[in-house]
């Protein structure tokens, strides 16, 4: 079973219903609901999503949306090891390095993001949600 790490932008696409990206993100979440894939999200992404979404919607509503989504996911913690890996990495963006090493720490098979170019040295396949869904129809 694929274990998908969702980058913050995918989580926000889904929770904010950010068109046109929300459709594919929602389909990926539906696969998790059907137990066809496993989803992993970093604790950092939940914090970032809350921060961004609460600028547009009440904190209470945002917390409830995140809580509902959290049921479908496994959380990757920001450990000392992940932080050290991020510090030592050659990523141009520190937050992206943390996301990447969170994915590796949880044994993810794919990294799902809309910023694929930020993960060009990834050992994991990196794709957006639509690309991942399209890859399933090939199999």
Q: Give the pLDDT score at 139.
A: 46
Domain ranges in the chain are: 2-138
What is the predicted pLDDT for the residue at 137?
74
Mean pLDDT, residues 22-48: 97
Percent of the chain clearing pLDDT 70 (strictly above): 99
Tens of pLDDT, residues 80-101: 999 999 999 999 999 999 999 9
Q: Which residue has the higher pLDDT, 139 or 72?
A: 72
Residue 93, Ramachandran bin (φ over 0: left; ψ between -120 and 50: alpha; else beta): beta
Contact 53, 18 (CB under 8 A): no
- At residue 131, does pLDDT exceed 70? yes
pLDDT of residue 138: 56
| Mean pLDDT value across residues 49-71 | 97
Q: CATH number of 2-138: 3.40.190.10, 3.30.450.40, 3.40.50.1010, 3.40.50.10540?
A: 3.40.50.1010
Q: What is the pLDDT of residue 14?
A: 97
Say if residues 32 and 38 touch (Cβ distance below 8 Å).
Answer: yes
pLDDT tens-place string over residues 97-127: 999 999 999 999 999 999 999 999 899 999 9
């Amino acid at each position: 079973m694929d274990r998908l790490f969702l980058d913050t932008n995918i989580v926000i696409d889904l929770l904010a219903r950010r068109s046109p990206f929300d459709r594919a993100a929602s389909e990926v979440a539906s696969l998790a609901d059907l137990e066809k894939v496993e989803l992993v999200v970093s604790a950092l992404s939940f914090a970032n999503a809350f921060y961004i979404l609460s600028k547009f919607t009440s904190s209470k509503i945002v917390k409830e949306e995140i809580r509902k989504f959290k049921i479908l996911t496994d959380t990757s913690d920001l450990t000392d090891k992940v932080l050290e890996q991020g510090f030592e990495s050659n990523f141009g963006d520190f937050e992206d390095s943390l996301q990447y090493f969170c994915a590796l720490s949880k044994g993810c098979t794919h990294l799902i993001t809309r910023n694929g170019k930020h993960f060009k040295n990834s050992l994991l396949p990196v794709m957006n949600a639509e690309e991942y869904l399209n890859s399933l129809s090939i199999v």
